[in-house]
Chain A
C-alpha cells in the first residue's frame, strides 16, 4: 500500500515551491534590469522601471518616484508587496515550517539561511554597497535550495508537488513577461537599432537564456527566434514549453501515486496545454495574435492550478466518499 499524503502537506509543498520560484523570478528580473539601466538614457529609465513592475504585476505605491532606490525597496524588501523577494522567501519558509518533517533538513537549513540573509539586509545598505554582489548571493541562495531539494529529497509524491509548483509558476511568469514585452517582439522596425537589441537581450537574460540562445542561434538576436526559444523550445529549462512538459510529468506521477481516476481531468488539461505548445509553430503565433496566444497559455495555467487544488487539496467530501 502506498502511503497517502495529507492534502494539507501537499498544499504546503506546492506553495513553498511556487513562492521560491516567484522570489527567484523577481530577483532575476530586478538584477538584470539594474544592470541594463547602466546603458539606458536617463529619460528612458523611468519607462523601463515601469515595464519591470508590469512584468511582475506590481505597482509603485502612490507618491513614490520610479527610481532605482524605490524599485529595489519595493521588489526586494517590501513586505506589503506579496511578490517582493522578502515576501516570497518568508512565505516559502512559512510553508516549509509546516512540513519540516517531510522535507530534508538540508532544505530547511538553506531556506532558513536565505531568509535570514535577506532579512538582515536593507535597501540603504544594498544601494550604498554593491547591489550586484548582494543579488548574486541571493541568487546563489535560491539555486542551492533547488539543488538540495533535488538531491536530498525522495523523488516521490511530495517532490512531484514541488515540481508542479515550480513549473506552473515558471510557465505563467514567463508567459506574462513575454506578454508585457509583446511590442518589442512584434512592432516592425530596423533590427540593427541598438535600443531594440538591448531589449531583446534583456528579455533573454531575464530568463537566464542569453547564453543558451547564442549557442543555438549565435548572438544575432531576432525576435522570431527569441520568441520561439522562450516559448516553444523544449530543451531549455526556462521556456514555457519545457516548464509545461515538466508539469505534466509531475502531474502524471501524482495521479499514479494516488491511484485515482480523478487525476484524469488534471492530466487532460496539462496534456492539452502541452500539445498546444508542441504543435504550434512560431510563424502561426506571430501571424496571428501573440497576445491572444499568451493569454490563452496563462488562462490554462490558472485552470490547471484550480484543477490541482480541487482534485487533491480541497475536494468535495461526497465525491471522495463515492470513489
Chain B
C-alpha cells in the first residue's frame, strides 16, 4: 500500500485541483466512478511504459501523415497536431443531455436561417434586432428567397462546449460555416485503440468509426430528388490549405472525390467535374471553402479557388451545397447571445444547453461595464474563428487591454465580451507526469434526412500550463473522447 501510494504520488505530484471542474477527481485521491479504471491503470503502469506508448502514438501520427500546415512558413511545413495519451471520458448520462441539447440547437438554428433569408418573422416580432442580423459580416443578401434543399442550411456543425465549475456543459460557440477537426477525432480513436487496447475494451466505449458513412448519408439526402445515385464531391481549397489533410482524409473515408475549384465547371447552370472520361455531373458539394471564395462571379471576384457560375447553378436548384451559403449569420458571436431566445421562439422549449453569459458591445450599459472590467473578461471579435482576435483579460497586458478598448469604441458591433470561464480540467500526460490541463469539447452534428451526432468529438487541450486557449493555431492539442454505454 505504501509503495502504491508513493508511486501514485510521484506520478500525480504536479496534479493541481483548482476552482475549475476536474474531470477525473471529485476531490484529492478520489476519482469519479467513471475515471476509476483509468486511474488504477495509470498507477499500475511502469514509469517508462506510458512514455513508450506516447512515443508509439506520436510515431503513428507521423507515419500516417496526420498533420496540419502552419501558415506563414514558406517551406509549407507540416506539423503533427499534438496528441495527449489519456482519454477524456464522458458518461452515457452526460452524453444524452448533450445529444438532446445539440439536436434542439441545430434544429432551431436551421429554422432561424430559413426565416432570416425568407419571411423574417423573428425580425418582425423584434425577438432578434433586424440591424444586428443585417450587419453580420457573414450575412449574404444574395441568399434572400433562395430555396435550399429540404430547407436545411447547416448540415455539418461543430459546436464548442465547455464545462462550468458546476459540472454543467454549456455552449461556447456554434461553428456553422466550415467546421474542421473531425479527422482528428477519428485518427485519435484509431491510435488510442492501438495504444491502450485492453483498457479501451474494458471500458465499453461507444464507437465513432461510422463517421465515414454518416456524412455520406447526410449529403445524399440533400441531392436533387430526381437523382437516384447522386455524385458527391468534397471541394477543397487545395494542398496549401491548413486543413488539407482533413479534406483528403474525409474524402477517402466517405469514398468521394476530392476536387479543387479548377476541376469543376458550370454549363447551363449545371455543375460538372472534368474527368479523363469526360464531364461528369455533380449533384452535391461538401464544400470546405468559405462563402467568399466559392464563386468569383457572385462573391469575391479575385478568388482563384472557386467555380464561376456555381451560385447560379445553386440558385437554380441543380446542385446542393453543404453547408449552404450565408450560414455564418447564425454563428456570429453577437447573434449567439440570442440563441436561447431563438430556441424558445421556434420550438417553444427551454434550451437544454445554456449559453455563456454574453455582453453585447453596442448595448451601452453592457459596454460601460465591459470597458471598466477588461482585465476580468474575455473579448472576442464577432466574425472570427480559430482563436484569432481575442483578448483574455486576466492573461493580458495593460497595453493589450488599451488596444481592445480603442477597437471596441471604434466599432462596438464587432465585439462581444464574456466572463473569463475556467474551463474544466482533465488529466494529461506531460513530461512523464500526469497533470491537469484545461479542455473543451467539439462534438460534430450532421443534419440531412435527420440529425446524427457521433458519440464523441474532439476534446481540445490547452497544453500550456494555465492556458485557456485550446486552438491548434495557438498551442493546443487534442485527446480521444470516450462516450460510455450506460
Q: Which residue of A lies closest to B252 (CB)?
A: A101
Closest approach, in angstroms, between the C-beta of A156 and any C-beta of chain B?
11
Please tell me if B259 contacts chain A, counting CB pairs below 8 Å: yes
Instruction: Tell whether A6 pairs with B275 under 8 Å between CB atoms, given A100-B248, A101-B258.
Output: yes
Most central of B273, B277, B279 by chain A CB within 10 Å: B277
**From A4, A98, A101, contact of B277 by CB (8 A):** A4
Q: Is the CB of A157 within 8 A of B239?
A: no
Please tell me if B260 contacts chain A, counting CB pairs below 8 Å: yes
Please tell me if A323 contacts chain B, counting CB pairs below 8 Å: yes
CA distance A8 to B238 in the complex (A): 12
Please tell me if B263 contacts chain A, counting CB pairs below 8 Å: yes
Please tell me if B79 contacts chain A, counting CB pairs below 8 Å: no
CA distance A260 to B262 in the complex (A): 22
Please tell me if A259 contacts chain B, counting CB pairs below 8 Å: yes
Please tell me if A182 contacts chain B, counting CB pairs below 8 Å: no
Contact residues of B between 251 and 281, Cβ < 8 Å to A? 251-252, 257-260, 262-263, 265, 267, 273-280
Q: Is the CB of A260 within 8 A of B277?
A: yes
Number of interface residues of B (CB under 8 A): 22
Q: Which residue of A lies closest to B257 (CB)?
A: A6
Closest approach, in angstroms, between the C-beta of A110 and any C-beta of chain B?
14
Closest approach, in angstroms, between the C-beta of A253 and any C-beta of chain B?
12
**From A105, A254, A259, A321, contact of B279 by CB (8 A):** A321
**From B238, B248, B267, B273, contact of A6 by CB (8 A):** B273
C-beta contact mask, A245-275 vs B, less than 8 Å → 1, else 0? 0000000001001111010000000000000
**Contacts of A64 on B, CB cut-off 8 Å?**
none
**From B238, B252, B278, contact of A260 by CB (8 A):** B278
CA distance A5 to B259 in the complex (A): 11
Please tell me if B65 contacts chain A, counting CB pairs below 8 Å: yes
Q: Is the CB of A157 within 8 A of B65?
A: no
Closest approach, in angstroms, between the C-beta of A258 and any C-beta of chain B?
4
Q: Is the CB of B275 within 8 A of A317?
A: no
Please tell me if A45 contacts chain B, counting CB pairs below 8 Å: no
CA distance A320 to B238 in the complex (A): 25
Please tell me if A242 contacts chain B, counting CB pairs below 8 Å: no
Closest approach, in angstroms, between the C-beta of A163 and any C-beta of chain B?
14
C-beta contact mask, B208-251 vs A, less than 8 Å → 1, else 0? 00000000000000000000000000000011000000001001
CA distance A262 to B239 in the complex (A): 31
CA distance A6 to B262 in the complex (A): 11
When A and B form their complex, what is the total count of cross-chain residue pairs whose Cβ atoms lie within 8 Å? Answer: 61
CA distance A323 to B248 in the complex (A): 31
C-beta contact mask, A71-108 vs B, less than 8 Å → 1, else 0? 00000000000000000000000000110110001000
**Contacts of B279 on A, CB cut-off 8 Å?**
317, 320-321
Q: Which residue of B lies closest to A1 (CB)?
A: B229
CA distance A5 to B263 in the complex (A): 11
Q: Which residue of A lies closest to B266 (CB)?
A: A317
C-beta contact mask, A1-31 vs B, less than 8 Å → 1, else 0? 0101111101000000000000000000000
Q: Is the CB of B278 within 8 A of A8?
A: no
Q: Is the CB of A98 within 8 A of B274?
A: no
**Contacts of A4 on B, CB cut-off 8 Å?**
275-278, 280
Q: Which residue of A lies closest to B233 (CB)?
A: A6
**From B248, B258, B276, contact of A7 by CB (8 A):** B276
**Contacts of B248 on A, CB cut-off 8 Å?**
100-101
Closest approach, in angstroms, between the C-beta of B246 and any C-beta of chain A?
12
Please tell me if A312 contacts chain B, counting CB pairs below 8 Å: yes
C-beta contact mask, B38-62 vs A, less than 8 Å → 1, else 0? 0000000000000000000000000
CA distance A313 to B251 in the complex (A): 22
CA distance A6 to B252 in the complex (A): 15
Q: Is the CB of B239 within 8 A of A105?
A: no
CA distance A304 to B265 in the complex (A): 26
Closest approach, in angstroms, between the C-beta of B278 and any C-beta of chain A?
5
Closest approach, in angstroms, between the C-beta of A27 and any C-beta of chain B?
24
CA distance A98 to B262 in the complex (A): 13
Q: Is the CB of A7 within 8 A of B65?
A: no
Q: Is the CB of A6 within 8 A of B274?
A: yes
Contact residues of A between 130 and 154, Cβ < 8 Å to B? none
Q: Is the CB of A258 within 8 A of B267?
A: no
Closest approach, in angstroms, between the C-beta of A120 and any C-beta of chain B?
14
CA distance A2 to B265 in the complex (A): 22
Closest approach, in angstroms, between the C-beta of B376 and any C-beta of chain A?
47
**From A10, A98, A315, A317, contact of B239 by CB (8 A):** A98
CA distance A4 to B257 in the complex (A): 10
CA distance A157 to B267 in the complex (A): 27
**Contacts of B263 on A, CB cut-off 8 Å?**
6-8
CA distance A321 to B278 in the complex (A): 8
CA distance A98 to B278 in the complex (A): 21
**From B65, B267, B274, B277, contact of A8 by CB (8 A):** B274
Instruction: Tell whether A10 pairs with B276 under 8 Å between CB atoms, given A98-B239, A101-B248, A101-B251.
Output: yes
CA distance A251 to B17 in the complex (A): 68
CA distance A183 to B239 in the complex (A): 48
**From A97, A101, A105, A157, contact of B276 by CB (8 A):** A157
CA distance A262 to B280 in the complex (A): 16
CA distance A105 to B260 in the complex (A): 22
17 contacts between A and B (CB under 8 A): A2-B277, A5-B276, A6-B259, A6-B274, A6-B275, A6-B276, A7-B274, A10-B276, A97-B239, A98-B238, A258-B276, A258-B277, A258-B278, A315-B278, A320-B279, A321-B267, A323-B278
Supplied contacts A7-B274, A105-B65, 6 more A-B pairs, CB within 8 Å: A6-B257, A6-B273, A6-B275, A260-B278, A262-B278, A321-B279
Nearest 8 A/B pairs, CB to CB: A4-B275, A258-B277, A312-B276, A7-B274, A4-B277, A320-B279, A320-B278, A101-B248
Which A residues fall within an 8 A CB radius of B? 2, 4-8, 10, 97-98, 100-101, 105, 157, 254, 257-260, 262, 312-313, 315, 317, 320-321, 323
